[in-house]
Structure 1
Amino acid sequence: MVSVVLDNLAAGLLVDEILTSYPALTREAIQAAFAYAAELARERIVLMPA
Structure 2
Amino acid sequence: MPGATELLRRITVHPDRMHGRPCIRGLRITVGDVLGMLAAGMSREAILRDYPYLETADIDAALVFAAEQADHPVIAAE
TM-score interval, normalised by the smaller of the two chains: 0.7 to 0.9
Q: 1:44, CA displacement in angstroms? A: 2.2
Question: Given the alignment, which residue of 14, 32, 35 partners 1:6?
Answer: 35
Query: Which sections of structure 1, spanning at least 5 residues, go unmatched?
Result: 46-50
Which amino acid counterpart does residue 64 of structure 2 have in structure 1? A
Which amino acid counterpart does residue 37 of structure 1 have in structure 2? A
2:17 is the counterpart of 1:17? no
Q: Percent identity?
A: 42
Query: Which sections of structure 2, spanning at least 5 residues, go unmatched?
Result: 1-29
What is residue 48 of structure 1 aligned with on the other side? none
Tell me, in whole angstroms, the C-alpha distance in 1 between the residues paired with 2:66 and 2:57.
14
Question: Given the alignment, which residue of 31, 34, 44 partners 2:60?
Answer: 31
Structure 1 stretches of 4+ moved >2 Å: none
Greater per-residue strand proportion: 2
**Number of residue equivalences:** 46
**TM-score (norm. length: structure 2):** 0.54
Greater per-residue helix proportion: 1
Tell me, in whole angstroms, the C-alpha distance in 2 between the residues paired with 1:41 and 1:13.
22
Q: CA RMSD in A?
A: 1.6
